[in-house]
Amino acid sequence: MRIVITQNMTLDGRIEMLDDWFDPADQDPELAEEVRRQTAREEVLLLGRQTFEDFRGYWPHQTDDSTGVAEALDRADKRVVSSTLTDPQWENTTIIGGDPLDAVRELRRAPGRDVIVTGSIQLAHALIEAALVDEFRIFTHPAWQGRGRSFFPDGFDAPRLRRIDARVFPGGIVYAAYEPAGLAHAAGTADATLAGLGSEQED
């Protein structure tokens, strides 16, 4: 399977949502169709604990969701990285309590479609540093936040990227997908980062 990181991002490269520039329910029809197209290629949804709990607290309650996201998330094969969570309280969810890097390597070796990581900034950064990401998908919003964590970890020597897809949506969001062209390995840094995953602060 392919490991794909999908993030919503501001014009200044921030993916940590500290302002109100992102509304998951506010999607124009073309954007909603693109999300459905990507979801159809998804085999596994891999999340950090905080993002998982944010999703669990929101999407199952959107009974009038017209985007199809809520239904797709209920059906999805969800994996949550946590060393403390014992009951996910959401159907079709498996807890990854061991080394997330090993778990992702195993997923990557398995046949299938895409493993999607979204939000989950600490986990996403660790996977980037370990050179385990096959594709980056970025939805850039017309907003400037000026603070918060970025798509790539601070101080990380980002790889050269090759654009493989791009679209502009009526609401002003610009989508682009990239493949790494020689991702630098930083396994030691990634291992140190992942040592803290699974705590209550994990995102």
Q: Is 36 helix (H, G, I), strand (E, B) or coil?
A: helix
Q: Who's near 200: CB < 8 A, 6+ residues apart?
A: 49, 84
pLDDT tens by residue, the chain, 203 residues:
999 999 999 999 999 999 999 988 788 999 989 998 998 899 999 999 999 998 888 888 777 777 777 788 888 899 999 999 889 889 899 999 989 999 999 999 999 999 999 999 999 999 999 999 999 999 999 999 999 999 999 999 888 999 999 999 999 999 999 998 864 444 444 454 454 554 444 56
Please report, to the nearest 10 degrees, the dihedral formed by the alpha carbons of residues 195, 201, 202, 203 taken in order.
-150
Neighbours of 71 (CB within 10 A): 13
* pTM of the predicted structure, to 2 decimals: 0.85
Q: Which domain holds residue 172?
A: 2-16+27-194
| Pair 150, 15: CB distance under 8 Å | yes
The CATH number of the domain where 164 resides is what?
Answer: 3.40.430.10
Tokens in use for 10?
């501001």
Q: How many domains are contained in the chain?
A: 1
Residue among 5, 3, 25, 2 at smallest CA distance from 124: 5
* 44 part of a folded domain: yes
